[in-house]
Amino acid sequence: MANLSSIHILFFAFITSGVAVSATVFTLENSCPYIVWPGILSGNANTLGEGGFPLTPGASVELNAPPGWSGRFWARTGCNFDSSGHGTCVTGDCGGALKCTGNGVPPATLAEFTVGSSNSGMDFYDVSLVDGYNVKMGIRPQGGSGDCRYAGCVSDINEICPSELRIMDPLNGGIVAACKSACAAFNSPEFCCTGAHATPQTCSPTQYSAMFKNACPTAYSYAYDDATSTFTCNGANYVITFCPARS
């Protein structure tokens, strides 16, 4: 495999109704002191980066998304794959495959995007802890217009994770590898916003979602945490950083 830090996928344009519409460039960079294996899930047939690959410390990769693309990025940690791309990850595993074709197994920090189409140039993006947390993550818009703000979670929630939510790393005894959401841990309506708690009016923050929110104020902490967690920008490219430093 080529050195991922030197991969540059050519910038290209899509033609829609006779109008050239530029691709959105996502740059994934690894600032963690260990290898991460980004997992990528697309909401349509345009799978970026073939769904996943290894990213060594300090490396970065550029991926181009067409107008209207939607999907999510996350970090997988503690992975071990064989030459055929089969294996497992301690966190974020997506069915034991290097190239993801489905969601990762929670808990995992998510970067979620809906890229503007040719008719509406507005992008929507967020960092979500609704499925729990495994690594710090940040989204930094480059260029663009509108309310193009930084979104992310730059706190190490594993350090403050309550014992009932912890996922331990079996390869490194005593180390917390990830922090579950309360929904995943307890599977009850008040934590999962289901049943009688399936509306914004009936699903309120809990002590667990408040812990996530206090640590990472610009990240989604539970299903209806929209007001302070969804961001918009027009015509930007985005840098997604695993383990960003505090600014």
Domain contains 198: no
User: Is the residue at 202 inside a domain?
Assistant: no
Q: What is the pLDDT of residue 26?
A: 98
Burial 56-74 (b: 16+ CB within 10 A, else e): eeebbbbbbbbbbbbbbbb
| 210 domain-assigned | no
| Residue 211 falls inside a structural domain | no
> Distance (Å, rounded) from C-alpha 161 to C-alpha 210?
12
Is residue 88 in a domain?
yes
Q: Which domain holds residue 136?
A: 4-180+217-242
Predicted confidence at residue 3, as pLDDT, reads: 41
Number of domains in the chain: 1
pLDDT in tens, the chain (247 residues): 434 333 233 223 333 333 345 789 999 999 999 999 999 999 877 789 999 999 999 999 999 999 999 999 999 999 999 999 999 999 999 999 999 998 899 999 999 999 997 656 899 999 999 999 999 999 999 999 998 999 999 999 999 999 999 999 887 777 999 999 999 999 999 999 999 999 989 999 999 999 999 999 999 998 888 777 899 999 999 999 999 987 5
Does residue 123 belong to any structural domain of this protein? yes
- Which domain CATH number covers 149? 2.60.110.10
Q: Is 186 part of any domain? A: no
Is the pTM of the predicted complex or chain greater than 0.85? Answer: yes
